[in-house]
Amino acid sequence: MTLIRENHLDNEVVQAQIMNAVTTKRNLRVNDLFLVAKRELNEISEEEFVQNVVQLASEGKIVLEDVDATERSFSRFLRRWELNLWFYSALTLTFAAVSSIYLIPSKYPYVIIQWVVGSMFIFFAPGYVTMNMLRIRALATSELALVSVAMSLVIVMFLGALLSFSPWGITLFSSTLSLSGYTLVLAFAASWRKYRYSTKRDGHL
């Protein structure tokens, strides 16, 4: 009897999370909805999720529809900003860093902007996109930030070592190009991987 009651409570929690996601984010793919639920309920399995979605659909609380082939393009996936906020954040930080280096005068007080934006880019962006590429999600926000910083330091040192043995050497241009190129390539690769993963299911809510 106790187990039945606990499962019932668990189902209520899962369904409440599903309904909240569907209400706040319209036209979600089933797979995307699972990712949202997984972030909030780490222990939920795919079987439990599907069971609760089917139950909600049978009760008329949500509607399952087939996704047309035109909805499966990568460009349309990128337009779903609620699922790609990390992607646009990485791109914005990269372009802001490059712009601050070449468009803002390197004299006080403008140089402060270069220091701030450049530090955020160097010590966060490379590790952050790498974390998304590796699909490491079972971390709290603070843990994700710390691991991203640590990974960024490793990547910066690795790229610096490669540049030191290259014909170009370590210059402002080569460092900026290599680090921004790495960040952009990894960001698009991670986004493409998430897109391919999301197309494994044919339905959306």
For 88, the token pair is: 């646009």
Are the beta carbons of 118 and 101 closer than 8 angstroms?
A: yes
Q: Please say which residue of 42, 63, 84 terminates a domain.
A: 63
Residue 27 has pLDDT above 70, yes or no: no
d(CA 146, CA 131): 11
Specify the pairing of strand 203-204 against strand 65-66.
Answer: antiparallel
Looking at the fold, whether 50 and 148 belong to one and the same domain comes out as no
Looking at the fold, whether 46 and 102 belong to one and the same domain comes out as no
Are the beta carbons of 5 and 179 closer than 8 angstroms?
A: no
How long a stretch of residues is the chain?
205
Are the beta carbons of 193 and 135 closer than 8 angstroms?
A: yes
Supply the pTM of this predicted model: 0.62
Give the domain range for residue 55.
Answer: 2-63
Residues 46-63: what's their mean pLDDT?
Answer: 80
pLDDT score for 126: 94
**Number of other CB atoms surrounding residue 205 within 10 Å:** 20
Looking at the fold, whether 26 and 122 belong to one and the same domain comes out as no
Residue 65 has pLDDT above 70, yes or no: no
d(CA 170, CA 160): 7
Looking at the fold, whether 150 and 55 belong to one and the same domain comes out as no
pLDDT score for 6: 42
Residue 104 has pLDDT above 60, yes or no: yes
Residue 110 has pLDDT above 50, yes or no: yes
Is the residue at 177 inside a domain? Answer: yes
Looking at the fold, whether 106 and 187 belong to one and the same domain comes out as yes
Is the residue at 163 inside a domain? Answer: yes
| Residue 45 confidence class, pLDDT cut points 50, 70, 90 | confident
d(CA 101, CA 113): 9
| Residue 202 confidence class, pLDDT cut points 50, 70, 90 | very low
Is the residue at 202 inside a domain? Answer: no
Looking at the fold, whether 103 and 179 belong to one and the same domain comes out as yes
Beta bridge partners of residue 66, listed in sequence order: 203
d(CA 145, CA 143): 5
Residue 112 has pLDDT above 50, yes or no: yes
Is the residue at 145 inside a domain? Answer: yes
**What percent of the chain lies above the pLDDT cut of 70?**
84
Residue 48 has pLDDT above 60, yes or no: yes
Q: How many domains does the chain have?
A: 2
Residues 93-114: what's their mean pLDDT?
Answer: 90
| Residue 200 confidence class, pLDDT cut points 50, 70, 90 | low
Are the beta carbons of 37 and 17 closer than 8 angstroms?
A: yes
